[in-house]
């Protein structure tokens, strides 16, 4: 057995059935012979995004794997690895490497040297005899602790080496840990004493699959629940205690209840300060439950820190509450307040959500999309810029892992790969990406990958022929040089790539177009619906205006 066959065997034993990537990388042929399906993308970034979605939509139970060519292939992948790092997603990346004698010679691009700051770990496989140890270390890091990409650089000449006759590999175990028992007692004391607590849920709840515990705690103590963008769908947003999710744009319920709270219990979150996250109010008592101790007191001062797996943490707290025979609280007052604030906010936005104007507003498309598809059986993601701010406040997720939110870094075009990877991991789901005419310019060619590889996603494109987010800060450039103007007929593009494309200009045609698109995905065809929209710049931010 040579190195390539050994790596393919390790990947199979760790549950890999798809290898995403772009050649030349000798691993594709070895994996194909081992019945691991190669999916070749049009550009490296999208392939990592697809692997990213596999991990995110399975709570890390499956690890997406990506391979690419040494040199330029590795260079082109850098941004996608940085994206996975910022979103704490466990992805295994296997770049080729120059022959070992040249791997650290300038100007040859070395993943081992250049990717240390955007990965959980990066290592060069220097000897075929060590393949088991190298991959065991990698998978242990992928399956233990806070997520993040792991890179193993494999020099070209290493593939010629045989592995030892006694080669064997056992899949790694995942390890969890729980919080300090004394901190649990203190946190329970604070929760019971609080008059207006809020539960702030991050994506750590997804990876821990702690959704039932969040629901149980919220209902027991009548605590309103909001989520980060990454945590969206961890709590059913149709629940009377749901406030919605937050990013740069948020429902009024999120802002009001956080600002009026006397205690914020963050679970499975970093509380990292970012332009695309919920801004925490000052002076609040904070309980911070996180898997990564380095996040405690990073940007927000914590009164109590609970370091450990979100499910184990919540189990410990619920156990303590049961020990104290805590009675379920009456939630009627708090749910009535939530309903009143939501109604007030929603009425401000109703004219946008029901608008009949042309060019149409994207809010009308989002409202009709949510009314038309089976939300519980859908996985949806936004893209960077306007689509994120337009979709996230108004889309109400009902089932876990049905919304892929992101934004700590903000690469245009990320959503296409997420939708494609989600569809491969969950072929029974309707998988949707919502993006704009700027984002499609970055990764749009990989719509052809969806057609070629039979990945029937539904792609919702808002085309306003403009970089609308930049209009306010590029007035002179736009007026004198048309610097923010962009253009294209993307429905025709989708058809030319082998998919189904349709351009919609009349708001009255939105629902019928969505139904046709969904039907095409059921027939196995990827769909791009191009909605011609106005230069919408309004988002749900304070002060609350529709």
According to the 3-state scheme, what is the secondary structure of 52-77?
HHHHHCCCCCCCEEEEECCCHHHHHH
Of 275, 276, 310, residue with least CA distance to 292: 310
Lowest mean per-residue pLDDT among 197-206, 256-265, 533-542: 533-542
**107 preceded by cis ω (within 30°)?**
yes
Find how far residue 505's CA is from the centre of its chain. Answer: 30
Please state, for a pLDDT cut of 90, what percent of the chain lies above it. 92
What is the distance between the alpha carbons of residues 173 and 169, in angstroms, rounded to a whole number? 12
> CA 27 to CA 499: how far, in whole Å?
29
Question: What predicted TM-score, i.e. pTM, was given to this entire model?
Answer: 0.96
Query: What Å distances lie between residue 456 and 40, 429, 442, 448, 525, CA to CA?
Result: 16, 10, 20, 11, 5
Domains 3-160 and 181-328 alike in fold? yes
Cα gap 512→2, rounded to integer Å? 55
User: Could you tell me how far CA 216 lies from the centroid of its own chain?
Assistant: 25
**CATH top class, domain 354-532:** alpha beta
CA distance readout (Å), 351 to 176, 188, 284, 387, 540: 48, 43, 35, 18, 13
Place of tokens 């048309």: 482
Mean pLDDT of 310-327: 98
Question: For residue 66, which of 115, 11, 121, 117 has the smallest C-alpha distance?
Answer: 11
Name the residue among 523, 522, 519, 462 with its Cα closest to residue 491. 462
Residues 181-209: tens digit of each pLDDT = 999 999 999 999 999 999 999 999 999 99
Find where tokens 């300060």 sit.
Answer: 273
Task: Kindly state the average pLDDT of the residues 356-371.
Answer: 98
Show the tokens assigned to 77. 């992948």
CATH number of the 181-328 domain: 3.40.50.1220
Q: What is the mean pLDDT of the chain?
A: 96
Q: Which CATH entry fits the domain spanning 3-160: 3.30.930.10, 3.40.50.970, 3.30.70.260, 3.30.70.600?
A: 3.40.50.970
**Residue 542 pLDDT exceeds 80:** no
Sheet holding 197-201, edge to edge: 242-246, 225-228, 197-201, 263-267, 285-290, 304-307
- Does the pLDDT at position 545 exceed 80? no
Compute the distance between CA of residue 96 and CA of residue 153 in angstroms, rounded to an integer.
6
- More reliable by pLDDT, 160 or 352: 352
Going from N- to C-terminal start, the domains of the chain cover 3-160, 181-328, 354-532
Query: Could you report the per-residue pLDDT of 192-251, keeping only the tens digit for each?
Result: 999 999 999 999 999 999 999 999 999 999 999 999 999 999 999 999 999 999 888 999
Q: Tokens in use for 364?
A: 């009308």
Residues 6+ positions from 107 with CB-CB distance below 8 Å: none
Q: Where are the alpha helices (DSSP H) in 261-359?
A: 310-323, 332-353
| Residue 470 backbone phi and psi in degrees, to 5 | -95, -5
The total number of residues shown for the chain amounts to 546
Question: 232 is written with which tokens?
Answer: 């969206």
- Write down the pLDDT at residue 280: 95
pLDDT, tens digit, for every residue of 410-461? 899 999 999 999 999 999 999 999 999 999 999 999 999 999 999 999 999 9
Mention every residue, 6+ apart, whose C-beta is less than 8 A from residue 52.
64, 80, 83, 84, 87, 89, 91, 417, 418, 421
| Residue-wise DSSP of 338-384 | HHHHHHHHHHHHHHHHT---SSBPHHHHHHHHHHHS-GGGEEEE--T
Confidence of residue 275 (pLDDT cuts 50, 70, 90): confident
Cα separation, 518 vs 458, whole angstroms: 7
Which of helix, strand or coil describes residue 528? strand
Query: How many CB atoms are closer than 10 A to CB 220?
Result: 18
C-alpha 230: how far from chain center:
6
Q: Which helix (H) or strand (E) holds 530?
A: strand 527-532
CA 430 to chain centre: 16
Confidence of residue 546 (pLDDT cuts 50, 70, 90): low
Q: What angle do CA 208, 171, 400 make, to 5 degrees?
A: 25
Residue listed under structure tokens 């509450």 = 321
Burial of 481 (0-12, 13-18, 19+ CB in 10 A): exposed
Residue 6 has phi, psi (to 5 degrees) of: -65, -40
The pLDDT tens digits for 172-183 are: 999 999 999 999
* Structure-token pair, residue 73: 């292939």
């Amino acid at each position: 057995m040579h190195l390539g066959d050994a790596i393919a065997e390790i990947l199979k034993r760790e549950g890999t059935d798809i290898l995403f990537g772009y050649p030349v990388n000798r691993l594709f042929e070895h994996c194909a012979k081992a019945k691991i399906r190669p999916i070749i993308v049009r550009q490296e970034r999208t392939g990592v995004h697809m692997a990213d979605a596999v991990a995110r939509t399975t709570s890390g139970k499956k690890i997406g794997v990506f391979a690419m060519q040494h040199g330029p292939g590795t260079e082109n992948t850098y941004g996608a690895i940085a994206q996975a790092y910022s979103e704490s997603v466990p992805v295994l990346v296997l770049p080729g490497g120059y022959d070992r004698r040249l791997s650290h010679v300038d100007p040859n691009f070395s993943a081992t040297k250049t990717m240390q700051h955007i990965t959980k770990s990066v290592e060069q496989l220097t000897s075929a005899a060590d393949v088991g140890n190298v991959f065991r270390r990698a998978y242990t890091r992928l399956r233990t602790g806070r997520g993040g990409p792991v890179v193993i650089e494999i020099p070209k000449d290493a593939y010629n080496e045989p592995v030892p006759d006694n080669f064997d590999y056992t899949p790694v175990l995942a390890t969890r840990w729980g919080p300090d028992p004394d901190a649990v007692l203190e946190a329970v004391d604070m929760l019971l004493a609080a008059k207006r607590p809020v539960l702030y849920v991050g994506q750590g709840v997804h990876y821990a699959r702690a959704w039932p515990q969040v629901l149980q705690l919220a209902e027991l103590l009548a605590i309103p629940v909001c989520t980060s963008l990454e945590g969206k769908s961890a709590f059913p947003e149709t629940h009377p205690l749901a406030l919605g999710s937050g990013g740069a744009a948020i429902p009024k319920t999120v802002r009001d209840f956080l600002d009026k709270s006397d205690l914020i219990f963050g679970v499975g979150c970093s509380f990292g300060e970012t332009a695309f996250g919920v801004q925490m109010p000052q002076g609040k008592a904070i309980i911070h439950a996180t898997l990564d101790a380095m996040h405690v007191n990073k940007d927000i001062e914590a009164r109590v820190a609970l370091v450990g797996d979100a499910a184990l943490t919540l189990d410990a707290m619920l156990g303590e509450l049961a020990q104290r025979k805590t009675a379920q609280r009456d939630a009627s007052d708090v749910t009535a307040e939530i309903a009143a604030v939501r109604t007030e906010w929603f009425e401000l936005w109703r004219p946008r959500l029901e608008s009949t104007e042309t060019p149409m507003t994207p809010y009308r498309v989002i409202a009709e999309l949510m009314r038309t598809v089976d939300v519980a059986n859908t996985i949806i993601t936004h893209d960077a810029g306007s689509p994120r701010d337009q979709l996230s406040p108004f889309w109400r997720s009902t089932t876990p892992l049905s919304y892929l939110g992101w934004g700590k870094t903000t690469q245009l075009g990320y959503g296409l790969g997420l939708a494609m990877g989600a569809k491969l991991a969950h072929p029974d789901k309707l998988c949707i990406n919502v993006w704009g005419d700027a984002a499609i310019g970055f990764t749009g060619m990989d719509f052809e990958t969806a057609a070629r590889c039979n990945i029937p996603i539904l792609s919702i494109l808002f085309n306003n022929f403009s970089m609308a987010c930049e209009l306010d800060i590029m007035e002179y450039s736009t007026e004198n040089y048309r610097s923010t103007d962009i253009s294209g007929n993307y429905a025709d593009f989708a058809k030319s790539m082998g998919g189904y494309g349709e351009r919609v200009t009349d708001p009255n045609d939105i629902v019928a177009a969505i139904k046709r698109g969904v039907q095409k995905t059921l027939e196995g065809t990827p769909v791009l619906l191009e909605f011609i929209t106005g230069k919408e710049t309004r988002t749900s931010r304070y002060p609350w205006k529709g």
